Chain A
Amino acid sequence: MVFSSIVFLVYFLPIFFTIYYLVPRRFKNPVILAGSILFYAWGGPKFIFVILGTTIFDFYIVRWMYYSESAKRRKLLLITSLTLNVGLLFYFKYANFFIDNINLALTAAGVSPVSWLDVVLPIGISFYTFETITYVVDVYRKVHKPLDKFWDYQLYIIFFSKLIAGPIVRYHDLADQIRGRFDNDTIERKLSGFYRFIIGLSKKVLIANPVGLYADNIMSTGFTEYDTATAWLAILAYSMQIYFDFSGYSDMAIGLAKMMGFTFPENFNNPYTSKSITEFWRRWHITLGNWMKNYLYIPLGGNQVDSKIKLYFNLWIVFLASGFWHGASWNFLIWGAFHGLFLVLERAFLTELLKKVNDLVKVGLTIVIVMTGWVFFRLETFSEAIAFLSKMYLFTDGKFIAPELSTLIPLCAGFIFAIFTLLPKGEKIQSRIYHSEISMKLQILLAPISILFFIICLAKVAGSDFNPFIYFRF
């Protein structure tokens, strides 16, 4: 079940929120938990037991760790929990990748390959594993005490609003809200949450989906027959698709949580307005960046290392890990390394070099670098990525495939929305809708607009597969 499906929008959403709003306060968390278990079990009926099992284990291990007086035991329990969680992530997400590569090497060496049955990936495992790690580590570091009730911990991990695609909510950002959010749960916040949900849904359905069709059409097969302009249009379309899809989903998650009184951290902040790759990573998937900083980069020494080489190496390791976190393939690693390289170059000299360059030029350059990186993110093999990059940069001949109007309009609209906060007025508008209290006038304006967009999005979702013949075909 995804947020942009009929099952969720027409059935789960109204039923869940009706029950949630009607039950007394003491039952609201159990309702969220029950809804979340149903939500996850619908998409991963077998894996619900994996997530329930690991949360039981982690809850009690962390309590034991917290209440242990022996530092040695505390460290041992920390390692045990981390090993289990990271081990499970490695098994489910990366085992296939490692076995495939080992078998490639064995075959090349003339040795018979290892026989292996491909493992299926539980949905959301990358997200909830990272959240589990924040719980374990934050308790270990005594940033926050562990939760008293097992069901509260379950709720934190399995909360349907963020379970499948984030944001990665660190434990101490949510801990006090589980039981302490109700005084902030006002009608204004509920409405604000709904508007945010609609913004996210519109981003996904009205922009990401249609531009994604063009990107898929060009980049899936046979792109060698297309020309350079088509290649650039396709990667631009993909850049818009991935941004509006991911940030749209985050908006929906944040909005849904707000409707229940929770405040989730922001996950995107107009990344395509960045003037450098460093800035890009402060605006793109912010919660992943924060996680990497707090749970990988700082433990590696952070900015406090004694040599620049070690600093650059640590940065690069963090970005390799970020890349690999996204998917088990060499291309994701290369994508991570690509971004890591630019981060290092900026630290080393690039930022200084580009100091006097016009801001708009810097934004343009950053967009081009990011779009180039997306080629590795989107295409499955290294050779395909190189072939596509050759298309982009070597100005080869071929067919030009103009996007249809149904792609071109969302593509242009998406691009404008992606960069409109470069204008001061744009920042102001975003702030008024996302972050400030919404005035009565704006409420009366936003309510019918939201309803209209909800209906249009629902129509688009319903019609996405509707394309019958006029007559039955014999």
Chain B
Amino acid sequence: MKTNKYILNFIFFLIFIMLWAGILQDHFKIFDEPALQGDIREVKDTSVSIDGWFGGEYQIAKEHFITNNFGFHNTLIRINNQFDFHMFNKANAKEVIVGIDNFLYEKSYIDNYFGRNYKGDTYHQELIEQIKFLSDTLKKIDKLLLIVIAPGKASFYPEYIPKVFVGDSSTSNYDGFIKYARSYPDLNILDFRSYFSQLKNSSNFKLYPKYGIHWSMYGSYLANDSIIRYVENKRSVKLRRMYASSYDYEQAHDIDYDIGAGMNLLFPIGENILPYPNYKFSESTDFVKPNILIIGDSFFWNIYPNLKTSFNKCTFLYYNKSVFPQNSTAEKVVDEEFTKSEIDQADIVMMIVTEAKIESIGWGFLNNTNNIYRINKGNNGPNITDREVKELINQINANPNWSEDIRKKAEERGVTYEQAVYDDAKWFLENKKQSSANEQ
């Protein structure tokens, strides 16, 4: 009986140690807990005040802080996530979908693939007009505008999308964009969605990782190589090139495992061996190093380390908000002045976007350049697109009285009818938009 008492007291003691584990870890950091991955916002501690206590705000803030910062918090989060993933095939990360055979997706990529958030024909028409305007404008000042479309995971691996998310396909934003881009064959577009889907079954290595949302390191290597060759061809120059001399075969890591890491599990999801290129520079020395300005999303990160070796100045505007490289602690503001300055210094302007977010291409960069290089340059006037002008010209031509007026004006001014109708349409639209702006 005494032995039993000792055993029971020992059991109770162990339970007590377990109860104290959180407090002890919090204060003494006995074990190293790896940080959690993802968009984790820091929760700051609060200090007590009489008003805060009696108003209840202190307790709410303190509980919030404790819940996000107590000892073994990260480990317990991983335990919870592992439990849910193992028991229910559920990912505790926003928008993450666990597909067939544990292929991981983000929901927005799936929705975009099935055309569930199509912006409409007019939207893409106007978007292409803006890109065309910028391309033509940069061409006049001997700069190249290059659009790079990275593939989205849902379009690359549609076969692993869970049945519950599969729906009727309708026009996607990618479809709309490409459709209107085709009206301007001179636009410089590298469509890796199309290219990679052709390569999918014949490529030596995986172009897209199972547990990542971006193209694989190998896929980005191919993309980088294609971009360099394209620029060389368009600019008739030779750029410094890297090539893969060998490959290390490793378990997917870093960007190739970004969704997997973001799920914050206790154990890796599964095996996914990928090739990681070891790079060497080509021996040729007769290359040039122009300047490049890139406006892009996270699909550029895989390419950035290699691409920048081929260029002299390589500025990357991440979502047109953060500037890389970050040379100083002060955050640069990406406004029109900054944009103009960077474009002036660049020989190539590259916009890179995944096809799943293609409707957001530029993230305001196109608006900025429209304002900088607007049609009614030199005036602080409203933005008029080519398409709007063309539409109005068609209306004028279809109106006999109006077109007759224009013909008379053309004779008086000594210009062609086409010039006169273009000027008139532009003037009409400017005034109309200016009046609307003034009323507001």
Chain A interface (Cβ < 8 Å from any Cβ of B): 1, 5-7, 10-11, 13-15, 17-18, 42-43, 45-46, 187-188, 190-191, 194, 404-406, 409, 440, 443-444, 447, 450-451, 454-456, 458-460, 462-463, 465-474
Contact = CB atoms under 8 A, between A and B. Distances in A.
B106 A463 contact: no
B53 A465 contact: no
A467 B213 CA distance: 17
Interface stretch (B93-101, B179-187, B273-281): B93-101
Given A406-B87, A451-B15, A456 B79 contact: yes
A3 B22 CA distance: 16
Contacts of A13: 19
B258 A404 contact: no
Interface of B: 4-5, 7-9, 11-12, 14-16, 18-20, 22-23, 36-41, 53-56, 59, 62-63, 66-67, 70-71, 73, 76-77, 79-81, 83-84, 87-90, 92-96, 106, 213, 258-259, 262, 264, 298, 319, 321, 363
14 contacts: A7-B63, A10-B70, A14-B23, A194-B12, A406-B84, A443-B7, A447-B15, A454-B18, A462-B77, A469-B39, A469-B93, A470-B93, A470-B213, A471-B298
B90 A405 contact: yes
Nearest to A2: B63
B321 A468 contact: no
Contacts of A447: 11, 14-15
Contact of B12 (A45, A190, A466, A467): A190
Q: Is the interface of A mostly helix, strand, loop or mixed?
A: helix
A468 B38 contact: yes
Given A18-B16, A45-B59, A463 B76 contact: yes
Contacts of B90: 404-406
B15 A473 contact: no
A118 B384 CA distance: 55
B70 A440 contact: no
Contacts of B37: 470
A474 B295 CA distance: 14
Contacts of B80: 459-460, 462-463, 466
Given A43-B59, A462-B80, A10 B321 contact: no
Contact of B23 (A10, A194, A467, A473): A10
Nearest to A21: B16
Contacts of B79: 455-456, 459
B67 A467 contact: no
Nearest to A259: B12
A470 B63 contact: no
Contact of A440 (B4, B9, B59, B94): B4
B9 A45 contact: no
Contacts of B67: 5-7, 462, 465
Contacts of A460: 80, 83
Contacts of B298: 471
B38 A470 contact: yes
Given A45-B53, A45-B54, A463 B7 contact: no
Given A45-B59, A468-B41, 11 more contacts: A5-B67, A7-B62, A7-B67, A14-B22, A15-B23, A406-B90, A444-B7, A450-B15, A456-B83, A462-B67, A468-B40
A443 B11 contact: yes
A52 B213 CA distance: 58
Nearest to B259: A470
A6 B40 contact: no
Contacts of B71: 10
Contacts of B321: 474
A463 to B, nearest CB: 3
Nearest to B62: A7
A470 B39 contact: yes
B63 A6 contact: yes
A187 B18 contact: no
Q: Give the most central of A1, A14, A456, A472: most B CB within 10 Å.
A: A14
B94 A467 contact: yes
B5 A409 contact: no
A42 B5 contact: no
A45 B56 contact: yes
Given A404-B88, A406-B88, A459 B77 contact: yes
A451 B18 contact: yes
B363 A474 contact: yes
B77 A470 contact: no
B88 A462 contact: no
A187 B54 contact: no
Given A188-B8, A462-B73, A474-B321, A469 B88 contact: no
A467 B93 contact: yes
A11 B66 contact: yes
A10 B321 CA distance: 41
Contacts of B363: 474
Q: Give the most central of B53, B59, B81: most A CB within 10 Å.
A: B59
B88 to A, nearest CB: 4
A443 B8 contact: yes
B239 to A, nearest CB: 30
Nearest to B53: A45
Nearest to B5: A187
A5 B66 CA distance: 10
A187 B96 contact: no
A154 to B, nearest CB: 21
Nearest to B6: A187
A125 B62 CA distance: 25
A465 B41 CA distance: 13
Given A462-B77, A474-B319, A14 B16 contact: yes
Contacts of A18: 16, 20
B92 A467 contact: yes
Nearest to B63: A7
B15 A194 contact: yes
A188 B77 CA distance: 33
Contacts of B53: 45
B23 A11 contact: yes
Given A456-B79, A465-B67, A466-B80, A17 B73 contact: no
A5 B80 CA distance: 15
